[in-house]
Every structure is written in structure tokens, then in C-alpha cells.
Amino acid sequence: MTPIDTSTSGAATTRRAVMEKLHAVRQLDDERIEVSVSEGAVTLAGTARSNVEIMLAARAALRVPDVHVVLNEIGIHAPPGDGAARFPGPR
């Protein structure tokens, strides 16, 4: 019988739970967000349409038991024509 690596099993369970929480947020396109877990820290990566979506994703991840830290690496990718181009970045 092969021993089960509980850290990997726990990370997989936590990852699934975070993904379920993200999917439950109606205002969030969860298919654009990648989730990874390591020792109670969740990393969110990918793209969102707004800062609000980024905040919603982090809050959803923090509602999962055993998640102590969320590293939010989600960037904003606004669809063309939504007005985001009117606000250029710093020079």
C-alpha cells in the first residue's frame, strides 16, 4: 500500500473548495482565475474585468477553512470598448 501524502491531499481539497467558492460568486468569471495552494496559502492568478472582481475573488478564497493567506496575482483585462482605455497608466 502506498502512503498518502496528506499535504498534497489537503492542498487538493483546499484548491477544490476555493474553486467552488469562486464559482459561487455570480459577479465573477471564475474560468479566468487559476488557483494554487501551498501550506494554507492560496495564490490566485489570471485575469479579471475589474478591481471589484479581484476583491471578490480574494474574499471568496478567504472563506475557505484552513486558508490563512491569499496571494492575489490577478490582473485586470478589460474587454475592448468598456471605457478602461480612457484611463492610461502612469508615465
- Chain centroid to Cα 65, Å, comes to 15
CATH architecture group of domain 8-78: 2-Layer Sandwich (3.30)
Q: CB within 8 A of 9, min separation 6: which ones? A: none
pLDDT value of position 9: 81
What is the mean pLDDT for each group of 10 consecutive residues in the chain (91 residues)?
A: 53 95 95 93 96 96 94 87 51 46
> Which grid cell sits at 71?
496571494
Nearest to 60 by CA among 12, 23, 34: 23
Task: With beta carbons less than 8 A apart as the criterion, state whether 61 and 45 touch.
Answer: no
> Which grid cell sits at 46?
489570471
pLDDT value of position 39: 85
pTM: 0.76
